[in-house]
Amino acid sequence: MSYLNELNASQLEAVKSIHGPTMVIAGAGSGKTRVLTFRIAYMLEQGIDPFNVMALTFTNKAAREMTERIGKIVGGTEAKNITMGTFHSVFSRILRYNSDRIGYPTNFTIYDTQDSKSLLKDIVKELNLDDKIYKSGMVLSRISSAKNNLISADAYAQNADIMKEDEQSRRPELANVYKTYVTRCFRAGAMDFDDLLYQTNVLLRDFPDVLHYYQQKFKYILVDEYQDTNYAQYLIIKKLAAVYENICVVGDDAQSIYSFRGANIQNILNFRKDYPDFKLFKLEQNYRSTKNIVEAANSIISKNQDQIKKTVWTDNSDGSKINVVRTLTDNEEGKVITNKIFNFKQSGVETYNAFAILYRTNKQSRSFEEALRKINIPYKIYGGISFYQRKEIKDLLSYFRLTTNHRDEEALKRVINYPKRGIGKTSIENIIIAASTYGVSIWDVINNFQQYPVALNAGTKSKLYEFATMISSFAAQLDKLNAYELAQTIAKSSGILRELYNEKDKGPEEVERYQNIEELLAGIKEFTISQVEDADLSLSEFMIDVALLTDADQQSTEEKNHVTLMTIHSSKGLEFPHVFLVGLEENLFPSQMALNSRTDLEEERRLFYVAITRAKESCTLSYAASRFNWGSLVTSEPSRFIDEIDQNYLHIETPQRGVGKSLSGFSGGFERSLSGGLNKPLGSNSGSFKSIDKVGPGKNDQNVLGDLKVGYNVMHDRFGKGKVTKIEGEGADKKATIFFPNHGAKTVLLRFANLAIIED
């Protein structure tokens, strides 16, 4: 047990306490994955049967890595007998094994978000509803929320409060859409991701023998990231652990940031109520970050009321203070941060992988992308379109899906006329209508026009027959060929490879599409040669793996030398030597939508905490005084979160050029309380600055330039000293033309000009 020597005292206690309900609160960077791994290894060494252990992880990749590490510690292949993976991967296999109980085929398809949205768009159209009101994303979110709270389509329609909400939002037909969606998924032999949890609850609720079997099988249950579990996940775990109560949950309430996905922080906060005799262990030593970063993060999260108190600390060096940067605009923010990355690199940082730019919303990436491109710094955006969502990949995967499950409606619609085989849009719509009329699948219709007549000409019926025959021939080889052999056969025989090859001469995008198919086939080949002895190497098994990939499984930030750009939500679980947290402005971060309740604001603060604790060596916070929003330039106020950091851990960066106090009246609470001279003009040769209080007739922000006249000398932060040559407009639209010796005449909107009046 030499591996136990790698643990500190708190970690060792958590590892050795293997019986009864246990909660491990793991602060950021405290080594929780090591504790989880070593705990399972210790359990096996104490004689616990690995077949009786279920460990639920954040990603499938993490599960594989933990299994490998446990195997190295305990030796042999026993670690492979542990049931380990994400909630969705573990319970999808349980559902496949028991699919007959709930009326699904063993080879049911798992719809991704794109599939679900496509189906919902069709349903909205068929029900003659307004697709601008019944937007697929909104409808799917509503259905997802219902399923995560175990509300069936029938229960949804019978709930007066829910129906009233839908009426008030002008979506009274949502219940009908939900019911139709469930019916269509069932008919297609498909589940969406929420169904994997919803149907598991149904299985355990309606079949006591199944519940008993898994209660006896999983005598020891471990759950990682417990603060991110939703009600459906919570209930599954509670039921399975009810007999032996050997349940260990690991997490950090301070990093609960997924309420928009249904995560409920109360699950971890109320653990002690579910298990009054539980044991609590706190992992408080941070191995990741410098002292300044750790203490700054502590000062932030201490403002939250709903939390399990802990004191995170570190033996690491003090490191530099958190840098705070103010820029005039969002475009300037992009340039300033990019220059900092360039300077870091010049000073000796080895690779661009050391840098991450984190933001609250995806749309903020634009200014950073432009700035990085201009000075040729490589970057990659995470959270964009994933490899498996690219059109050509989805097309080929749809052939695979249809081969394993002929009832898969979304897959069939996608490839029935791709590559083009002369089956028109009207013909396809007629087939879909017939399937809906007779309550059968599209596949049933195209295979039996006598029983399900459709108004199609003989030529179209012949082409449909050829298509169905081709798919059936693929299916006949499912048990004869391994995944790679069958995938290659399908890629060639379907015509997809030929189609993409013929397009290769058209341009780089077409070449990339062909290369992506090659990459997919290479990945399938790797799947067939990397499995353990006697593993299932079929295409069906490969498709199960692909369907259950999480965003984090599909993203590797270490494969190439590039700066990482991502949302803070996407960054959870990652770490970088140097982090730039940008766009720290009120109504952006915290989000305007989070300002209506303490609960929402505290989640935003936890998100801020997560962002800062991604940093190992340095952390820079930036905000812009003005930002374009829907085409209009609006003034911004610094985020309250900057103000909440203990000043001892902050360094307020001084602007590099003269910045007079903005005559637009911009002044946030942070600048008033912390920055001192942050907005005061710099330099001794710029003339004396006229007191802002003596300019303008009143305190109204829009009128502080009331006395600005032609002939006045002013200082602009970017163009330097200039003379006013013309004034026009009134109120908020008031503009001045100013001549700058080094830049010529510029016309500026006064409320956003950031000017200072100077006296020679």
Active-site residue, 403 included: no
Is residue 27 within 8 Å of residue 310, measured between CB atoms? Answer: yes
Choose the catalytic residue: 32, 142, 147, 394.
32
Choose the catalytic residue: 22, 37, 180, 255.
255
Active-site residue, 171 included: no
d(CA 40, CA 730): 72
Active-site residue, 225 included: yes
d(CA 231, CA 167): 26
Active-site residue, 32 included: yes
Choose the catalytic residue: 115, 195, 225, 604.
225
Is residue 356 within 8 Å of residue 578, measured between CB atoms? Answer: yes
Alpha helices in 75-192 (DSSP H): 87-97, 113-126, 136-148, 153-158, 160-168, 174-187
| Per-residue CA distances from 221 to 79, 214, 224, 301, 511 (Å) | 15, 11, 10, 30, 48
Choose the catalytic residue: 33, 233, 307, 329.
33
d(CA 38, CA 82): 14
> Nearest-5° angle of CA 52, CA 56, CA 59?
140
Closest C-alpha among 494, 495, 513 to residue 504: 513
One-letter amino acid for residue 193 of the chain: F
Choose the catalytic residue: 115, 122, 224, 586.
224
| Per-residue CA distances from 591 to 356, 587, 639, 643 (Å) | 21, 5, 10, 16
Collect all residues with Cβ–Cβ distance below 8 Å to 88 and sequence separation of at least 6. 193, 196, 197, 548
Active-site residue, 503 included: no
d(CA 350, CA 141): 43
How many CB atoms are located within 10 Å of the residue 305 CB? 7
d(CA 37, CA 284): 18
Choose the catalytic residue: 614, 616, 721, 734.
614
3-state secondary structure (DSSP) of residue 77: coil
Rg of the chain in Å (alpha carbons) = 30
Active-site residue, 68 included: no
Residues marked active site are found at 32-33, 224-225, 255, 614
